[in-house]
Amino acid sequence: MIGAGVFSAFAPAAAAAGSWLLLSLAIAAVAAYCNAISSARLAALYPESGGTYVYGRRRLGDLWGYLAGWGFVTGKTASCAAMALTFGGYLAPGSGRWAAVAAVAGLTALNLYGVRTSALAARIIVAAVLLVLASVVLVGASGAGALPGFQGAPSWGVLQGAGLLFFAFAGYARIATLGEEVRDPATTIPRAIPIALGIALVVYAAVAVTALAVLGPAGLATSPAPLADAATAAGAGWLAPVVRVGAAVSALGALLALILGVSRTVLAMARDRHLPVGLAAVEPVRQVPRRAELAVGVAVIALVLVADLREAIGFSSFGVLVYYAIANASALTLSREEGAPPKVVPAAGVALCLVLAFTLPLTSVIAGVAVFCVGGALWALRRRRTAR
């Protein structure tokens, strides 16, 4: 979760929400909390690779599970492209796309060696990123003025900002999608998801307050590198190159985990013949789905060569919000004996996910609806062929 989103999502969210950015962050956090609780309860009950793709099929029916998987794979593939482009943009602005392609290829190769190698690399990356973010907050606190006052009344832009900021919160799904590879998943997953969300929220709130106080809403909205600019504006120009390196490293960390999680959902869908069955093969020694991981890597590289960063963030948010709406709807069907959360939690999660999805920028909504229509048509075609 603490990846490139914290470096890239605040600028477009500030452009939408203005001085009400912190309210957008709070709304995104509430939606993420509902999703986290629902996902944790479902993951404990169904510790299988695939996440909401599995939960939707078990609790709501084949179509809803398929749409959840489709939304996750397409949305998170766009997230992979966004992370790769963020890495390339910070590390090599003049040749960012080719640096992004190299990053995708390298991390796909790393994932082929198994989850343990990937998890160790992710821990190292997160530790480095947290040090960078802490430095920005400390420097900003010493050189910042007061937070700007609220201007105007909360509006549609606040919800749009929340939908864009949700992009930075969505990483906890990958804990659930790796269910088959977690030790004692019934205990570990319900603990890990809320803890991860709580840590990320504290970090994001501190960074958002610092960026707003140093740059102001307008400066934050127009900045191509908000945290580097915040460090410079606070009188610590020496920190800006460190922040750029931190952003590149965090993008690598997010991309590493994204490829891992998406490939596991591809694996689950291929097992059920919703995707080509050849993608369900698991390498016998390391027990990793190498074909699925290679297919995801190729798809991400293709997107990197044509994608725009901000559009990728919006499209990814739409797909993942629909995914979590289905997760919350699945949690609504749980009984008390199955560990159901209080009904208000998944009910609020469904409502918030749908509202935030359809208040995103219009191009993201149109593209998202079109992709889900294509997915639904493919499901209906497959079902008709199977019936014959």
Which two structure tokens, joined as six digits, stand for 382? 């497959």
Confidence grade of residue 115 (pLDDT, cut at 50, 70, 90): low
Q: What is the pTM of this model?
A: 0.83
Find the range with the poorest average confidence among 114-118, 133-137, 288-292, 314-318: 114-118
CB atoms within 10 A of CB 51: 29
Q: Give CA separation, 31 vs 175, 213, 284, in Å.
A: 17, 25, 39
Domain with 332 in it: 5-387
Answer yes or no: are the C-beta atoms of 9 and 164 closer than 8 Å.
yes
Q: How many helices, marked H, and strands, marked E, lie in the chain?
A: 16, 0
Residues 6+ apart with CB under 8 A from 371: 70, 74, 315, 319
pLDDT of residue 265: 76
Which residues, other chains included, contact 201 with Cβ-Cβ below 8 Å and sequence gap of 6+?
29, 32, 169
C-beta of residue 47 within 8 angstroms of C-beta of residue 182: yes
pLDDT tens for residues 51-109? 788 899 899 998 999 999 898 888 889 988 888 888 887 777 777 788 889 999 988 88
Sign of the dihedral through C-alpha 55, 58, 63, 64: negative
Split into its structural domains, the chain has a count of 1
Which CATH number belongs to the domain containing residue 11 in this structure? 1.20.1740.10
Could you give the CA distance from residue 292 to residue 295 in angstroms, rounded to a whole number? 5
Percentage of the chain exceeding pLDDT 70: 89
179-193: average pLDDT: 70
pLDDT at 370 over 90: yes
The Cα 266–Cα 70 span in angstroms is 9
52-56, 169-173, 340-344: least confident range: 169-173
User: What's the pLDDT score for residue 385?
Assistant: 77
| Burial environment of residue 142 by CB neighbours within 10 A (0 to 12, 13 to 18, 19 or more) | exposed
- The 10s digit of each residue's pLDDT in 156-166 is 899 999 999 99
**pLDDT over 60 at 318, yes or no:** yes
Q: In sequence order, what DSSP letters do the residues of 238-250 get, joined into one string?
A: GGHHHHHHHHHHH
Residue 265 Rama label (left phi>0; alpha psi -120 to 50; beta): alpha
